[in-house]
Amino acid sequence: MNLSVRIAFFRPMPYDIHAIRSLGQLKKSGYQPRSVKDELRANLLEKIKNKETIFPGIYGFDDTVLPDVERAILSRHNILLLGLRGQAKTRIARQLVHLLDEYIPVVAGSELNDDPLAPISRQAQDLIHEHGDDTPIEWMHRDARYVEKLATPDVSIADLVGDVDPIKAANLRLPYSDERVIHFGLIPRSHRCLFVINELPDLQARIQVSLFNVLQEGDMQIRGFKLRLPLDVEFVFTANPEDYTNRGSIITPLKDRIESQITTHYPATIEIGRKITEQEARIPEEQRKRVNIPTILKDLIEEIAFVARDSAFVDKKSGVSARLTIAAYENLYSAAERRMLRNGEKSTTARITDFWGVIPALTGKIEMVYEGEQEGPHAVAMHLIGEAVKKVFLQYFPNPSKLKKGRENDPFGTIKAWFAGGNVVDLMTDAPQKAFSTELDKVAGLKKFVESLSIPDNDLPVMMELCLHGLAEFDQISKDFIQTRLQFKDFLTGNIGGKDDDDDDLRDLFN
């Protein structure tokens, strides 16, 4: 801790925390106590006036969630952030700590972070009574003023509020009726702090009841002790919607005592989703330098999440977390890197075929409805990738199912005619870059058609590959995943006269 840091309190006067070490020195400095809610409000107002970024790294909430959070702070409210998983609720709560003063004075050794000029604990009051102006004080950094608790069914009142400590009673030789034998829980120890409870509905109803008076009246009961502790705490709660968390719900009287309820949401656009994914993904610099991820594939990853949130196979009440795209992005890098190393290459560009290495990042991130369970996680993941490919394909190519019949009206005519001639494309998942490009180049008309779209040369192979995947998803050609390769061929000639006939292909033909 750098003790030479100067800070400003309620009065616009600098304080040298290295020089102020006793209660008497603090009094002479002109320091005046203020509540944590006033602290947050004052510092937020200052940041707004200076046009500073208040919540760095939070994207997509500028016109929705963040203004509501700021209004709640200015109103000195406790906050409930309500939304599906992966919507940055905890991140917002953790960033509130930066709106606190950098340092605050506390009575040295006090359990409840007592303000030297407004102590609330018996311990701090006794210390000040005994030492007077010589009472030592310490300076508490704002990072130490953040307390977070994950609500689980086994959380007890003792954990949150406190309990009688028989060991303390024995050591101090005090009866259980003495206030000094109480062991305070997390909430009293969060006096003058931010206290965050994540997943509030998972807290048992009888435990939620114990928060009533703490939130509104400031008193507590611990094993028969009724304590009037004017706790100064900024509460922030996070929760999933009640209709999803079947394990419990927020009881109505508690919700009534939380002044501001703010609903979060998922990114509204692909661009915002991509910014979040690129910011959060843990990609080593060496990996980033050696593996190129074309923008089109970054968009494809985000489209998978958008498709999943609307899919009939996925439980919409559970949501599809941003962690899905983050994990998928990391896996895409790793799939391309593994292929590069196996082929002895120094660098590589990711492909759509690399997305088969992304499937493990998808299957664990979605909760499926009955129909999805019947299909199976792997089949649902493949379906989501296919639907995302269709959406990205239509951003660059015309819809092949809506084109007029006749090769002269069909820009894909030459390509489909090549496949109709019995030709087959095998894209090996681990093929070297040169072999992969050669396999794409042999498709008549494919390269020429893609080049006519004014695509950068670096993106040409992936756009050629996208064209084939898109035609397959729109049922213009056939696509099969066979062990370690993707095979594209015509529906009829591939099954009747192709060199890779098998029983599965025949079943596909007649189904």
The pLDDT tens digits for 214-240 are: 887 766 666 666 667 788 999 999 998
For residue 9 the two structure tokens come to 């309190």
Left, alpha or beta for 22 (phi > 0: left; psi -120 to 50: alpha)?
Answer: beta
Give the whole-number percent of the chain exceeding pLDDT 70.
88
- The pLDDT value recorded for residue 180 is 73
432 pLDDT more than 80? yes
User: CB 497: neighbour CB atoms within 10 A?
Assistant: 11
Q: Cα–chain-centroid distance for residue 177?
A: 47
Residue 171's pLDDT band (boundaries 50, 70, 90)? confident
Predicted local confidence at residue 8, as pLDDT: 39
Six-digit token string for 319: 């949501």
Segment 68-79 shows an average pLDDT of: 97
Of residues 309 and 507, the one with the higher pLDDT is 309
82: nearest Cα among 199, 187, 195? 199
Q: Is the per-residue pLDDT at 163 higher than 50?
A: yes
Q: Quote the CA–CA distance of 65 and 71 in Å, as a whole number.
A: 10
User: Average pLDDT of 442-468?
Assistant: 89
The pLDDT, as a whole number, for residue 247 is: 57
pLDDT range class, residue 17, cuts 50, 70, 90: confident
Beta strands in 285-387 (DSSP E): 291-292, 348-349
Q: Which amino acid is at 390?
A: K
What sign does the dihedral 325-328-334-339 (CA atoms) show? negative
Angle at 320 between CA 278 and CA 349, to 5 degrees: 35
Question: What is the predicted pLDDT for the residue at 229?
Answer: 78
CB 57 within 8 A of CB 279: yes
Question: Which one-letter amino acid corresponds to residue 194?
Answer: L
**Cα-based distances in Å from 367 to 239, 271, 316, 324:** 18, 25, 8, 12
- Whether 305 shows a pLDDT value over 70: the answer reads yes
Contact criterion met (CB below 8 Å) for 237 and 208: no
Nearest Cα to Cα of residue 296 among 354, 381, 380, 339: 354
Cα gap 261→92, rounded to integer Å: 14
What tokens were used for 175?
Answer: 């009866």
Cα 447 from chain centroid (whole Å): 40
Q: What is the pLDDT of residue 346?
A: 95
pLDDT given at position 230:
84
Amino acid at site 134: D
Judged on CB neighbours under 10 Å (0-12, 13-18, 19+), 244 is middle
**Among 291-295, 420-424, 507-511, which stretch is predicted with the lowest mean pLDDT?**
507-511
Q: Residue 166 — pLDDT band, cuts 50, 70, 90? A: confident
pLDDT at 380: 94
* Average pLDDT rounded to a whole number, residues 28-36: 91
Asked if residue 112 lies in contact with residue 121, where contact means CB atoms within 8 angstroms, the answer is yes
- pLDDT, tens only, 274-298: 999 999 999 999 999 999 999 999 9
State the residue for tokens 């992005």.
Answer: 329
3-state secondary structure of 372: helix
**What is the predicted pLDDT for the residue at 407?**
55
**How far is residue 286's CA from residue 347's CA, in Å, rounded to a whole number?**
11
Q: What is the mean pLDDT of residues 353-382?
A: 92
Rounded to an integer, the average pLDDT of 144-173 is: 84
Q: How many CA atoms lie within 13 A of 264 on its CB side?
A: 30
What's the whole-number mean pLDDT along residues 245-269? 86
The whole-chain average pLDDT of the chain stands at: 87
Q: Which of 293, 285, 273 has the alpha carbon at shortest distance from 59?
A: 273
Q: Are the C-beta atoms of residues 461 and 436 closer than 8 Å to each other?
A: yes
56 pLDDT band (50/70/90 cuts)? very high
Cβ atoms < 10 Å from Cβ of 91: 12
pLDDT above 60: residue 242: no
Bridge partners (DSSP) listed for residue 485 = 428, 482
Cβ atoms of 386 and 460 closer than 8 Å: no
Token code pair at residue 25: 């020195």
pLDDT value of residue 329? 97
pLDDT of residue 509: 32
pLDDT category at 161 given cuts 50, 70, 90 is confident
For residue 422, the model assigns a pLDDT of 92
13 pLDDT higher than 60: no
Beta bridge partners, 148, equal 196
- 274 touches 296 (CB < 8 A): no
CATH numbers and ranges of domains, the chain = 6-263 (3.40.50.300), 267-396 (1.10.8.80), 406-511 (no CATH)
Q: How far apart (Å, rounded) are the C-alpha atoms in residues 319 and 337?
A: 30
- For residue 53, name the pLDDT band (cuts at 50, 70, 90): very high
Cβ contacts of 91 within 8 Å, gap of 6 or more: 57, 58
pLDDT of residue 499 exceeding 50: no
CA–CA distance, 325 with 278 (Å, rounded to integer): 9
What's the mean pLDDT in 124-147? Answer: 94
Band (492; pLDDT cuts 50, 70, 90): confident
What per-residue confidence (pLDDT) applies to 12? 43
In this prediction, residue 496 carries a pLDDT of 47
pLDDT at 185: 87
Q: CA-based angle 439:355:342, to the nearest 5?
A: 65
The residues, ordered by sequence, that sit 6+ positions from 304 with a Cβ below 8 Å of its Cβ are 324, 325, 328, 362, 384, 385, 388
- What is the C-alpha separation between 360 and 307, in angstroms, rounded? 17
DSSP 350: -
Residue 426 has pLDDT above 50, yes or no: yes
Start-to-end CA distance of the chain, whole Å, equals: 71
CA distance 55 to 343: 44
Cα(455)–Cα(437) distance, rounded to whole angstroms? Answer: 16
Res 501: pLDDT: 45
Task: Give the mean model confidence (pLDDT) for residues 172-183.
Answer: 72
